[in-house]
Amino acid sequence: MAKFTKKHKEALAKFEITKEYSLDEAVELVKSISYTKFDASVDMSVRLNVDPRKANQMVRGSVTLPHGTGKEIKVLVLCTPDKEEEAKAAGADHVGLDDYVQKIKDGWTDVDVVITMPSVMAKVGALGRVLGPRGLMPNPKTGTVTMDVGKAVTAAKAGKIDFKVDKFGIIHAGVGKVSFDQSKLYDNALELMSTIIKLKPTSSKGAYIKSISISSTMSPGVKIEEKSVTIAD
């Protein structure tokens, strides 16, 4: 049985762990029960009624959070020389191709987002073993394999996040920091949920969402009632 710290116990005493709260209430609670000395990240866990082993039930996508993620996003663009200026002008932190391909093969992954072009995917594809496990592999579905590298860099810097279900059918995604205003966390969380709901596979039968919770780094999770995040059809 896990041993809880005194602060963790104090946090648990502030709410009912089995109760489902509205999104607004849950965000307020997470802000009040966060006890780290640093500005903790706020994350959502959404359990879906899908089987990720089936290709037609793999839920993945991207969303630009209206108020950003609260963290500085480091972007690498792997592109041909004619696209380098466009990437740099949009704010990319690292731009190039062969040198960076070699660096990544040698184990360097000090970035948050990797963007590339269709024409160089043959070179980038060889990096899957390094980038894949870290969630950095560019993918056309999330807009990180594109000819419009400048637009992709701008989106990444503005708070665009990629997400996909894990093998247990759960999506984990960050929606900001504890220091964010309650309304900003609420907006970000609602934007994420509306995007996930739109991505419901046609092959998914019955209730699509099994459970939703929100938590900050090291804090207990607060359950959210589904009706508070679903937009009426």
pLDDT at 231: 57
Helix axes 182-198, 23-33, angle to 10 degrees: 130
Q: Tens digits of per-residue pLDDT, 76-92?
A: 999 999 999 999 999 99
**pTM as predicted:** 0.75
233 within some domain: no
Mode of pairing for the β-strands spanning 94-96 and 75-78: parallel
154 and 174 both lie in a single domain: no
With a cut of 50, which residues of the chain have pLDDT below it? 1, 232-233
pLDDT at 35: 75
Domain that holds residue 94: 75-158
Residues 171 and 56 in one domain: yes
Give the end of a domain, one of 137, 158, 179: 158
Q: What is the 3-state secondary structure (H, E, C) of the chain?
A: CCCCCHHHHHHHCCCCCCCEECHHHHHHHHHHHCCCCCCCEEEEEEEECCCCCCHHHCCEEEEECCCCCCCCCCEEEECCHHHHHHHHHCCCCEEECHHHHHHHHCCCCCCCEEEECHHHHHHHHCCHHHHHHHCCCCCHHHCCECCCHHHHHHHHHCCEEEEECCCCCEEEEEEEECCCCHHHHHHHHHHHHHHHHHCCCCCCCCCCEEEEEEEECCCCCEEECHHHCCCCC
Q: What are phi and psi of 105, to 5 degrees?
A: -60, -30
pLDDT for residue 210: 94
Domain limit, last residue, from 158, 179, 198: 158
Shared domain for 82 and 10, answered yes or no, is no
pLDDT for res 219: 82
Residue 1 lies in a domain: no
Q: What is the CATH number of the domain that holds 40?
A: 3.30.190.20
The label of the residue with tokens 């602060």 reads: 7
Question: Tell me, what CATH number does 101's domain have?
Answer: 3.40.50.790
Does 169 fall in a domain?
yes
Number of structural domains, the chain? 2
User: Same structural domain for residues 30 and 133?
Assistant: no
94 with 140, same domain: the answer is yes
pLDDT at 195: 94
Calpha distance 228→62 (Å, rounded): 21
Note the residue count of the chain.
233
**Alpha carbon distance 143, 109 (integer Å):** 20
**d(Cα 61, Cα 31) in Å, to the nearest integer?**
27
